[in-house]
């Protein structure tokens, strides 16, 4: 099967990172690379030809034109036009499919001529705005898949973009969507506010297949995702030894959205590993240092949830042994990524782009392509070995080595979530302050696993019990909660 060229607009240095991200993403995605190659002007070798003629010829040869517009207008020729505008006009004249992506929403920062080009493009076609490379690649992914469908070259959509059979918008939770929008605004300055209509928000995130919610939509915002996708659950196991052996001392199967799955699995691990508890000399709360950095554990779990193969009947498994933590997820690394390349700077090639982008917007994933490098850095800072990555048949495994028992003195016993909540509560605190102090991202998991049990156990109480939903609601310790704080 021959591949078609995608011409990415020749722009200024301002968008160099985004242009490279587009090329790496398209040529690394298992589906898109079957149909497309990406042309970037800077990849051309030196030649005895005028630059303006070369790039316009490439527009003619390309099947698609992708315009990535920023604030700068770029070099202007004798007629006062930039290469970007020349390319756009050429693609228009040649009737090429044009996909326009505009960075940012502040038109006051945009060069007047670029602002005029953005407006002109908006009058001719639908343009998409983006804040960074993850949003750009996710939106481009949806556009290219739609183009392949429209031209008849793709009969079946990728899993995350395809409609979830029998699911309707009624199977999604408006409350979960609104919590996501609030967090995305706070974390990344996302454009859509809480309260945005379900269809509008899903369309903006490319989570609709026609009028039906996609698999990604159900996994992100479903009221009960496992009703439709049973294997999307996470299995967490704790073994006292170094091998898988029955009986299993602790075994939990977690269900929920991808956000809830990450928080529940992270809680499982952090509650069972050793902790050094300091003194309260510096404040009312004793500092706690975990034997494995929380950020590294979270990164491993998020990687498994975001990049797993959801078509597989297998589930993500999080297994804590006496000497290591192993996180298993069904799926293979997409070419050109290899186990060795994960230890060096590499492009972000998510297996499920439409799931990965909301995880990024909600703060679960940081800058694209840096996850494994961040994990390595966190473990090094803690004086621990680098993580081990391996491909075991159809499963990708991440292993984090625990320190030896001798290296973890003053180990505190395992405590329940409600007691952990009581121990970080100082004076009167809001729900948001408590959640941030516990470093939990998913609101629903915090409410079910921490806040409600602490209230039911009588460890904390509301300052305004007659108005539980009051915006001025705070929480404080009860005498029983104060006793719980005294334990090491």
Query: What is residue 283's predicted lDDT score, i.e. its pLDDT?
Result: 52
Q: Is the pLDDT of residue 411 over 60?
A: no
- What are the start and end residues of each CATH 3.40.50.10140 domain in the chain? 4-150
What would the mean pLDDT of 377-394 be, rounded to a whole number?
93
- What are the start and end residues of each CATH 3.30.565.60 domain in the chain? 231-407
Q: What is the pTM of this model?
A: 0.74
* CATH number among 1.10.10, 1.25.40, 3.30.1360, 1.20.120, domain 417-486: 1.10.10
Q: For residue 53, name the pLDDT band (cuts at 50, 70, 90).
A: confident
Query: What is residue 442's predicted lDDT score, i.e. its pLDDT?
Result: 82
Q: What spatial distance separates the first Cα and last Cα of the chain, rounded to whole Å?
A: 65
pLDDT tens sequence across 223-256: 999 999 999 999 999 999 999 988 888 999 999 9
DSSP string, 320-352: E-SSEEEEEEE--PPTT--TTGGGS------SS
Cα gap 198→196, rounded to integer Å: 6
Which fold, 231-407? Heat Shock Protein 90 (3.30.565)
pLDDT tens sequence across 264-282: 999 999 988 876 655 555 5
Q: For residue 406, name the pLDDT band (cuts at 50, 70, 90).
A: very low
Which residue would you say has higher pLDDT here, 382 or 289?
A: 382
Tokens 């909660």 locate to 481
Q: For residue 202, name the pLDDT band (cuts at 50, 70, 90).
A: very high
Query: What is residue 450's predicted lDDT score, i.e. its pLDDT?
Result: 92
DSSP-H helix ranges across 63-104: 83-93
Q: Is the pLDDT of residue 187 over 80?
A: yes
Kindly calculate the radius of gyration of the chain based on its CA atoms and give it in whole angstroms. 25
Cα gap 284→425, rounded to integer Å: 9
Query: What is residue 277's predicted lDDT score, i.e. its pLDDT?
Result: 53
Q: Which of 30-44, 85-99, 385-399 has the lowest mean pLDDT?
A: 30-44
| Nearest CA among 479, 473, 471 for reference residue 422 | 479
Query: What is residue 46's predicted lDDT score, i.e. its pLDDT?
Result: 58
Query: What is residue 352's predicted lDDT score, i.e. its pLDDT?
Result: 92
| Nearest CA among 306, 316, 291 for reference residue 414 | 291
Contacts of 411 (CB under 8 A, 6+ apart): 274, 275, 276
- Percent of the chain at pLDDT exceeding 70: 92
Cα gap 205→353, rounded to integer Å: 11
Q: Is the pLDDT of residue 285 over 80?
A: no
Cα gap 138→350, rounded to integer Å: 9
Tokens 């597989």 locate to 312
Q: Is the pLDDT of residue 333 over 80?
A: yes
Q: Is the pLDDT of residue 439 over 70?
A: yes
Q: Is the pLDDT of residue 44 over 80?
A: no
What would the mean pLDDT of 462-482 be, rounded to a whole number?
92
pLDDT tens sequence across 66-87: 999 999 998 899 999 999 999 9
> Could you tell me the CATH superfamily of domain 4-150?
Toll/interleukin-1 receptor homology (TIR) domain (3.40.50.10140)
Query: What is residue 69's predicted lDDT score, i.e. its pLDDT?
Result: 94
Cα gap 363→378, rounded to integer Å: 17
Contacts of 206 (CB under 8 A, 6+ apart): 138, 139, 141, 142, 161, 354
Q: Is the pLDDT of residue 284 over 80?
A: no
Query: What is residue 120's predicted lDDT score, i.e. its pLDDT?
Result: 95
C-alpha distances in Å from residue 470, one per residue of 448, 454, 477: 19, 19, 19
| Cα angle 120, 125, 131; round to 5 | 80
477: left (phi over 0), alpha (psi -120 to 50) or beta: beta
Cα gap 445→390, rounded to integer Å: 31
Average pLDDT, the chain: 88
Label the pairing between strands 64-69 and 98-103.
parallel
**How would you class 429 by CB atoms within 10 Å of its CB: exposed for 0-12, middle for 13-18, buried for 19 or more?**
buried
- What are the start and end residues of each CATH 1.10.10 domain in the chain? 417-486
Q: Is the pLDDT of residue 367 over 80?
A: no
Query: What is residue 409's predicted lDDT score, i.e. its pLDDT?
Result: 44
pLDDT tens sequence across 129-171: 998 888 899 999 999 999 998 888 887 888 999 999 999 999 9
């Amino acid at each position: 099967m021959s591949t078609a060229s995608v011409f990415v607009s020749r722009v200024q240095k301002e968008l160099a990172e985004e242009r490279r991200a587009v090329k790496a993403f398209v040529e690394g995605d298992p589906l898109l690379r079957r149909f497309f190659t990406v042309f970037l002007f800077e990849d051309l070798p030196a030649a005895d030809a005028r630059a303006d003629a070369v790039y316009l010829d490439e527009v003619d040869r390309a099947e698609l034109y992708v315009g990535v517009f920023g604030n700068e207008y770029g070099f202007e020729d004798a007629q006062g036009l930039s290469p970007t505008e020349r390319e756009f006009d050429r693609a228009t004249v040649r009737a090429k499919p044009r996909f326009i992506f505009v960075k940012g929403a502040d038109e006051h920062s945009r060069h007047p001529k670029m602002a005029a080009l953005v407006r002109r493009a908006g009058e001719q076609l639908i343009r998409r705005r983006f804040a960074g490379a993850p949003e750009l690649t996710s939106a481009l992914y949806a556009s290219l898949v739609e183009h392949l469908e429209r031209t008849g070259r793709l009969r079946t959509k990728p899993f995350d973009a395809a409609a979830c059979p029998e699911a309707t918008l009624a199977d999604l939770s408006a409350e979960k969507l609104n919590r996501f929008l609030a967090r995305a605004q706070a974390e990344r300055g996302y454009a859509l506010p809480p309260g945005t209509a379900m269809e509008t928000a899903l369309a903006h995130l490319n989570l609709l297949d026609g009028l039906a919610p996609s698999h990604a939509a159900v996994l992100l915002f479903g009221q009960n995702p496992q009703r439709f996708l049973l294997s999307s659950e996470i299995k967490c196991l704790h073994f006292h030894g170094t091998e898988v052996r029955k009986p299993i001392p602790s075994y939990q199967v977690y269900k929920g959205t991808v956000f809830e799955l990450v928080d529940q699995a992270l809680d499982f691990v952090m509650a069972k590993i050793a902790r050094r508890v300091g003194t309260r000399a510096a404040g009312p709360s004793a500092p706690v240092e975990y034997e494995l950095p929380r950020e590294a554990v979270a990164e491993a779990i998020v990687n498994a949830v975001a990049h797993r193969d959801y078509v597989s009947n297998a589930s993500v498994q999080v297994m804590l042994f006496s000497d290591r933590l192993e996180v298993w997820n069904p799926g293979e690394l997409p070419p050109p990524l290899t186990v060795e390349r994960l230890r060096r700077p590499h492009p972000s090639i998510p297996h499920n782009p439409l799931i990965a982008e909301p995880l990024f917007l909600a703060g679960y994933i940081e800058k694209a392509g840096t996850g494994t490098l961040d994990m390595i850095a966190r473990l090094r800072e803690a004086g621990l070995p680098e993580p081990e990555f391996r491909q075991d048949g159809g499963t990708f495994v991440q292993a984090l080595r625990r320190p030896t028992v001798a290296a973890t003195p003053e180990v505190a016993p395992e405590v329940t979530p409600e007691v952990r909540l009581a121990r970080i509560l100082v004076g009167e605190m809001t729900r948001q302050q408590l959640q941030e102090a516990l470093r939990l991202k998913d609101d629903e998991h915090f409410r079910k696993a921490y806040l409600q049990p602490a209230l039911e156990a009588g460890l904390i109480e509301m300052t305004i019990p007659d108005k539980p939903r009051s915006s001025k609601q705070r929480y404080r310790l009860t005498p029983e909660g104060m006793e719980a704080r005294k334990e090491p």
